[in-house]
Amino acid sequence: MKNFPAQYKELNTWMEKLGAAIPGTMGGFGQLHENTIADGALDTKTKELVAMAIAITVRCDGCIAYHVHDAMKSGATENEIAETIGVAILMGGGPSVVYGIEAMQAVHQYKEEGL
């Protein structure tokens, strides 16, 4: 089983290193992320759930680690995450079932860490 909390921490470390190597690109990406996720017509929690569903359908482990964490930090419940996984499965089929399972594993791992 993957360790999603550890992956989240490692991604943050490497994003900082990548930011030092290509500050313009990563700075722009950081601004894009911050502005996109900010509350608007949709709240941050909803946007993180959408991002998580997309992460599942495109099969991005690191994206799952990130957006499950950030959805939970934004107040998403396990049931809300589970229903969002259901939407991802609808749109992505069988492979989304496998990555949806990984998203639920991430939820449980983050809960064990107190998030």
If pLDDT is split at 50, 70 and 90, which confidence band does 71 have?
very high
Amino acid letter, residue 78: E
The CA angle 62-25-99, to the nearest 5 degrees, is 15
If pLDDT is split at 50, 70 and 90, which confidence band does 1 have?
confident
Share of the chain above pLDDT 90, in %: 99
The CA angle 76-10-113, to the nearest 5 degrees, is 45
Q: In terms of Cα–Cα distance, which of 111, 112, 11 is closest to 61?
A: 11
Residues 6+ apart with CB under 8 A from 76: 45, 48, 49, 84
Structural domains of the chain sorted by starting position, each given as residue range(s) with its CATH number in brackets = 1-10+43-115 (1.20.1290.10)
Q: Which DSSP state fits 41?
A: S
Per-residue pLDDT, 54: 97
Q: SS3 for 89?
A: helix
* 88-95 LR contacts (CB < 8 Å, sep 24+): 88/52, 88/53, 88/54, 88/56, 88/57, 89/56, 91/53, 91/57, 92/56, 92/57, 95/59
Per-residue pLDDT, 33: 96
Per-residue pLDDT, 43: 98
Full-model pTM: 0.90
The string of pLDDT tens digits covering residues 22-48 is 999 999 999 999 999 999 999 999 999
